[in-house]
């Protein structure tokens, strides 16, 4: 299951079609790209519930058969806001006891609405993902400040991260979101979840989308696909 980025507000699922296709080809898996409803017309938790509903749909045997998928082999993946949604779908699947996920791939994820980290202070402007822009995007997504404390909006604020699926967390050195992504990886690891965390040196937030322009973009897609393929190959 792939959830696109752009701050819960912009773009549609087909913008990241090439990335989804490359992951599908490299990982030898089916990628379902979800066209969830966008803020501010549809605020939290509507986009999350859309992503969860799509994941639940694919977990149904009849529905999975219609797209030649295995309903027992599901992972969630997303970039930026989509990574936030992927992490939240994993938490929601745990809370509602279904579907069972085999992994979560979180690419440059926002995990906390506070925007108060060292990386936010160091890279608040001039690195392609400004602090003021992120604050504006959070404001469009959340209904009120209380939502910001909800772990389904800010996964880093979840009290219990145990029993979640294994995670691959990708961060970029010059991304304001770097520290909260890495903090979430650390929290998952502390909760006993198998985690692979990779920081791409010299990169900014949007580097995974820079198709054909930098070698790190190809490297990250390769890493993601190999991790997914290996995860599906593991026996329960």
CA angle 154, 210, 217 (to 5 degrees): 85
pLDDT, mean of residues 5-30:
90
- Digit-coded pLDDT (tens) for 161-170: 999 999 999 9
The rounded mean pLDDT for the chain is 95
Count of Cβ atoms closer than 10 Å to residue 9 Cβ: 16
The pLDDT tens digits for 76-128 are: 999 999 999 999 999 999 999 999 999 999 999 999 999 889 999 999 999 98
CA nearest to 27, candidates 62, 60, 58, 73? 73
Q: Which residues form the catalytic set?
A: 80, 175, 205
Checking if the pLDDT of 35 tops 90, the result is yes
1 touches 74 (CB < 8 A): yes
Rounded to an integer, what distance in angstroms lies between the CA atom of residue 218 and that of residue 44?
32
Which among 98, 79, 96, 95 has a CA at the least distance from the CA of 168? 79
> What tens digit of pLDDT does each residue of 140-178 get?
999 999 999 999 999 999 999 999 999 999 999 999 999
The answer to whether the pTM exceeds 0.85 is yes
pLDDT at 221 over 70: yes
What span, in angstroms and rounded, lies between the C-alpha atoms of 120 and 127?
11
- In the chain, which ranges are E strands? 2-3, 33-34, 75-79, 103-107, 167-172, 195-200
Distance CA 158, CA 151 (A): 5
What is the DSSP-derived secondary structure letter of residue 27? Answer: H
Local structure of residue 166 (DSSP, 8 states): P
Residue 49 host element (H or E) = helix 46-59
Alpha-carbon gap, residue 172 to 176, rounded angstroms: 9
Top CATH class, 2-230: alpha beta
- Omega cis (within 30) before 219: no
């Amino acid at each position: 299951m792939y959830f696109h980025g752009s701050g819960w507000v912009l773009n549609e699922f087909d913008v990241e079609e090439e990335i989804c296709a490359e992951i599908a080809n490299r990982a030898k898996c089916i990628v379902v790209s979800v066209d969830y409803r966008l803020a501010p017309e549809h605020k939290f938790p509507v986009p999350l519930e859309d992503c969860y509903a799509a994941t639940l749909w694919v977990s149904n045997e009849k529905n999975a058969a219609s797209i030649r998928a295995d309903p027992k082999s599901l992972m969630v993946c997303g970039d930026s806001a989509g990574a936030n949604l992927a992490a939240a779908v994993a938490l929601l699947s745990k809370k509602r006891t279904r579907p069972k996920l085999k992994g979560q791939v979180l690419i440059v994820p926002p995990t906390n609405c506070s925007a108060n980290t060292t990386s936010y202070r160091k890279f608040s402007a001039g690195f392609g993902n400004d602090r003021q822009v992120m604050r504006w995007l959070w404001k469009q997504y959340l209904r009120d400040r209380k939502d910001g404390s909800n772990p389904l909006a800010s996964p880093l604020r979840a009290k219990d991260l145990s029993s979640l699926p294994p995670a691959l967390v990708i961060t970029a050195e010059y991304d304001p979101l770097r520290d909260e992504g890495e903090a979430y990886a650390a929290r998952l690891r502390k909760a006993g979840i198998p985690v692979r965390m990779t920081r791409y040196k010299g990169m900014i937030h949007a580097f995974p989308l820079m198709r054909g322009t930098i070698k790190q973009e190809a490297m990250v897609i390769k890493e993601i696909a190999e991790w997914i393929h290996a995860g599906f190959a593991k026996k329960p």
